[in-house]
Amino acid sequence: MLTHANCLFTARTYQRELALEPPLTIFMFLPLAHALARMVEMVSLDVGGTLAYWRGDSRLMLEDLAAARPTHFPSVPRMFEKVHTHALAQAAAGGSMKRRTFDAALAIGRRRRWADRAGGAGARLRVAHAIADRLVLSKVRAVFGGELQLALNRRRPDRARRPRLL
């Protein structure tokens, strides 16, 4: 059973750990009966954020996502798979060189995020990331509307991982 105290504790923890404060726009794809969706709504309202909802048509999902220009996107693995498939298709259409550049940019992006969490990236990694961002990563963020700061990937507890960031 989720009690009021449990919801308040969870909301405060999200706000503190994710440093949530306006302006923020959260794109809601999760079913509104989902526990995480309810918590996201409460947190967003509490911090003065904007909630953006999809139209319910899975064929228009990426269009809805880009139009909402969210800063935060809590979702399930399937949604991230759709975005990843879209990005891979674009990279593959450009040939093997573009695909290798895409893969390398994603690897650099991951290394940069982990380095930032560990205390900071060195100059060499910052330069590599700036190049990767210019060539690839900014285009991937554009699929999310270009303003994304945090993408929270809701996984089953047996496959729990840290939030994935772009």
pLDDT at 162 over 80: no
In a domain, 57, yes or no: yes
- Per-residue pLDDT, averaged over 77-82, amounts to 79
In a domain, 83, yes or no: yes
Average pLDDT of the chain is 83
In a domain, 59, yes or no: yes
In a domain, 166, yes or no: no
In a domain, 67, yes or no: yes
- Cα separation, 99 vs 96, in Å, equals 5
In a domain, 164, yes or no: no
- CATH number for the domain that contains residue 128: 3.40.50
Contacts of 64 (CB under 8 A, 6+ apart): 27, 52, 54, 55
In a domain, 131, yes or no: yes
In a domain, 138, yes or no: yes
Question: How many separate domains does the chain show?
Answer: 1
- Per-residue pLDDT, averaged over 126-130, amounts to 93
| Banded pLDDT at 140 (limits 50, 70, 90) | confident
Report the predicted TM-score, pTM, of the whole model to 2 decimal places: 0.69
Matching residue, tokens 């302006």: 23
Q: What is the pLDDT of residue 128?
A: 93
| Banded pLDDT at 154 (limits 50, 70, 90) | low
Q: What is the pLDDT of residue 46?
A: 87
120-151 burial string, b = 16+ CB within 10 Å, else e?
A: ebeeebeebbeebbeebbebbbebbbeebbbb
Terminus-to-terminus CA distance in the chain, angstroms?
34
pLDDT at 142 over 80: yes
For residue 9, the enclosing domain spans: 4-159
List, for residues 15-30, the tens digit of each pLDDT value.
888 888 888 999 988 8
List, for residues 82-119, the tens digit of each pLDDT value.
777 877 887 788 788 888 898 899 899 889 988 888 88
Q: What is the pLDDT of residue 134?
A: 92
Q: What is the pLDDT of residue 70?
A: 93
Q: Which of 35-44, 78-87, 126-135 has the lowest mean pLDDT?
A: 78-87
